[in-house]
C-alpha cells in the first residue's frame, strides 16, 4: 500500500489531493480497498457510476462491444453511437447529438454551436456567452472562462475572451447583462454541483428560458452532473417546464467510461457542418454501448425510486443535530454541517465505512441511482451520527 501511495505521489501530477485510501474493486454501491475493508459509496465516482460498480448489464454490454469492435474512426458508420444518439433524442425531444469524451468537451461544443449560430444569424460581434457566478463548466481554458469562480482562473490568464458572469436567481441582473452585451448564449446548471449543490429557483430558470426566446439567444443547460436521472428526471431542466436549445451531459451518461454529449434542439441542430468540430474518440463504440445500457434503463419507475430515496435523505437529515441545511434535487444532495467542516465530516464518515464528497462548504452525496435502501439507510445513519457528535 505504501508503495502505491509513494509511487502515486512520485509519478502522478500533483493535481489531486487524495484521501488516504486506495480503492481496489467494487460491486454495486460497495467499494473495497486493498485491505479488504468495505465502504458504502455515496459519491459514485462523482456521479459517474449510475448503477454502481461493475453493474452486470452495463459490464456485459461493454465487454460484448469490446470483443466486437473497440474503436474505429469517425470516417465510418458504427451502430452503438447511433443507437445512443437516437435514445437521447427520443428522451429529450431534441434533434441531434455530438459526442465527445468529457463534460468539458460537451460544453466546448455547446459554446461553439452558440457562437456559430449567433455569428450566422445576428452578426460576428454577437459572441458573448453568459454564465452564472459560482458555476462550474470544466477545466479547459474555454470552459474555465465559462466557470464563474475566480479561484479556478488564477495563474491561467488569459482565458478565452467573451464570457460574462452574473448572479444566480437575479433575473433583473441577467436582463441588464443581455442589454449591455451582444449575447450568443446563456449557459446554466439547474443545480450548481461543484458550486455547493445549490438548486436554482424555478422562476429564475423559466426567466432565463424567456430571455433566450425573446432575444434569439441559444439557451444551454449544462447537465453534466445533474443529467441522466440524477435529479429524478431524465434531465434536471425537465422539472421546470423549459426547453433548452442545447443540453450538455457526461458523468453518469457513460456509467464509468468516458463520454460526453452535446444534444441540440431544432433551432441549432444544423449549425455544425462538415469539419466544424470533431473528436477522435467521440462516440467510441465501447463507451456508447455502455451508455446505451444506462440510458435505456432510465424510466419512470427508476425516477420514482430516486425521488423516494431523495425524500428519505432530506427527511432524515433536515433539522438533524449538527446539520444546518440540506440542499439539492433528487440524489444530488448537499449537507451543510454545523460545528465541523465538510472535509472533517467526510473523513470521519470514511473511517466509519461511508464515502462522501464535498462541494465548497457542503458534504455532497451522489450515490448510485439504484443504491439499495439498506445501504442508503446505513450511510445516512453514519452521516447523521458524525454530524451530530
Of 101, 122, 44, 63, the residue nearest 248 (C-alpha): 101
Residue number with CB closer to ligand PLP (29 or 226): 226
* Residues 165, 168: Cα–Cα separation, whole Å: 9
- Residue 280 has which C-alpha cell? 477522435
Sign of the C-alpha dihedral computed for residues 308, 205, 187 and 90 taken in this order: positive
The residue whose Cβ lies closest to ligand PLP is 103
Q: Binding mask 73-112 vs ligand PLP (x if CB under 6 A, - otherwise)? A: -----------------------------xxx--x-----
Nearer to ligand PLP, 184 or 190 (CB): 190
Q: What is the per-residue burial (b if ≥16 Cβ within 10 Å, else e) of 16-47?
A: eeeeebeeeebebbbbeeeeeeebbbbbbbeb
H or E element in which residue 248 lies: strand 246-249
Query: How near is the Cβ of 294 to ligand PLP at its closest, in Å?
Result: 15
Pairing of strands 357-359, 362-365: antiparallel
348 contacts ligand PLP (rule: CB under 6 A): no
Nearest approach, Cβ of 47 to ligand PLP (angstroms)?
A: 7
Binder among 209, 222, 245, 348 for ligand PLP (CB under 6 A) = 222
Q: Within 165-194, which residues bind ligand PLP (CB under 6 A)?
A: 189, 193-194
The closest of 123, 121, 153 to 140, measured between CA atoms, is: 153
The 119-158 site mask, x for binding ligand PLP (CB under 6 A), equals -----------------xxx--------------------
- Please identify, using beta-carbon distances, which residue of 41 and 189 lies nearer to ligand PLP: 189
**Are 288 and 99 contacting, i.e. CB atoms less than 8 angstroms apart?**
yes
Which one of the spans 222-230, 299-307, 325-333, 369-377 is the region binding ligand PLP (CB under 6 A)?
Answer: 222-230
CB of 103 to ligand PLP, least distance (A): 2
Interface with ligand PLP (CB under 6 A), residue total: 15
Q: Mapping DSSP to helix (H, G, I), strand (E, B) and coil, where does residue 14 land?
A: coil
3-state secondary structure of 270: coil
Q: How far is the CB of 97 from ligand PLP (least distance, A)?
A: 16
For the segment 192-211, give every residue that binds ligand PLP (CB under 6 A).
Answer: 193-194
Q: Which is nearer to ligand PLP, 132 or 183 (CB)?
A: 132
Please name the residue that has the C-alpha cell 449538527. 322
Give dist(CA 351, CA 342) in Å, integer: 15
Binding site for ligand PLP (CB under 6 A): 102-104, 107, 136-138, 189, 193-194, 222, 224-225, 250-251
Amino acid at each position: 500500500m505504501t508503495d502505491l501511495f509513494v509511487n502515486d505521489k512520485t509519478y502522478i501530477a500533483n493535481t489531486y489531493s487524495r484521501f488516504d485510501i486506495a480503492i481496489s474493486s467494487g460491486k454495486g454501491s460497495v467499494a473495497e480497498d486493498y485491505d479488504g475493508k468495505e465502504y458504502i459509496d455515496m459519491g459514485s465516482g462523482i456521479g459517474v457510476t449510475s448503477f454502481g460498480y461493475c453493474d452486470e448489464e452495463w459490464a456485459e454490454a461493454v465487454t460484448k462491444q469490446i470483443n466486437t469492435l473497440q474503436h474505429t474512426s469517425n470516417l465510418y458508420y458504427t451502430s452503438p453511437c447511433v443507437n445512443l444518439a437516437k435514445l437521447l433524442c427520443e428522451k429529450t425531444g431534441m434533434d441531434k447529438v455530438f459526442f465527445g469524451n468529457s463534460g468539458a468537451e460537451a460544453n466546448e461544443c455547446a459554446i461553439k454551436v452558440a457562437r456559430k449560430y449567433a455569428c450566422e444569424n445576428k452578426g460576428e460581434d454577437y459572441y458573448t456567452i453568459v454564465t452564472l457566478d459560482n458555476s462550474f463548466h470544466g477545466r479547459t481554458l474555454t470552459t474555465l472562462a465559462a466557470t464563474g469562480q475566480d479561484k479556478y482562473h488564477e495563474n491561467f490568464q488569459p482565458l478565452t475572451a467573451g464570457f460574462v458572469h452574473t448572479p444566480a436567481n437575479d433575473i433583473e441582473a441577467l436582463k441588464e447583462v443581455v442589454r449591455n452585451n451582444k449575447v450568443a448564449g446563456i449557459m446554466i446548471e439547474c443545480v450548481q454541483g461543484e458550486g455547493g449543490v445549490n438548486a436554482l429557483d424555478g422562476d429564475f430558470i423559466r426567466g432565463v428560458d424567456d430571455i433566450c426566446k425573446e432575444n434569439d439567444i441559444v439557451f444551454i443547460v449544462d447537465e453534466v452532473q445533474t443529467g441522466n436521472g440524477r435529479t429524478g428526471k431524465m434531465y434536471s431542466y425537465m422539472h421546470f417546464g423549459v426547453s433548452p436549445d442545447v443540453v450538455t451531459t457526461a458523468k453518469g451518461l457513460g456509467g464509468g467510461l468516458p463520454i460526453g454529449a452535446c444534444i441540440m434542439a431544432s433551432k441549432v441542430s444544423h449549425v455544425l457542418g462538415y469539419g466544424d468540430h470533431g473528436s477522435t474518440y467521440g462516440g467510441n463504440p465501447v463507451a456508447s454501448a455502455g451508455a446505451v445500457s444506462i440510458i435505456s434503463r432510465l424510466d419512470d419507475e427508476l425516477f420514482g425510486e430516486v425521488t423516494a430515496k431523495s425524500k428519505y435523505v432530506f427527511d432524515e437529515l433536515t433539522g438533524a443535530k449538527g446539520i444546518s441545511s440540506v440542499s439539492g434535487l433528487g440524489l444530488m444532495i448537499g449537507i451543510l454541517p454545523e460545528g465541523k467542516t465538510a472535509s472533517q465530516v467526510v473523513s470521519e464518515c470514511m473511517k466509519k465505512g461511508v464515502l462522501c464528497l464535498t462541494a465548497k462548504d457542503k458534504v455532497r452525496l451522489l450515490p448510485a441511482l439504484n443504491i439499495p435502501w439498506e445501504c442508503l439507510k446505513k450511510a445516512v445513519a453514519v452521516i447523521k451520527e458524525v454530524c451530530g457528535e
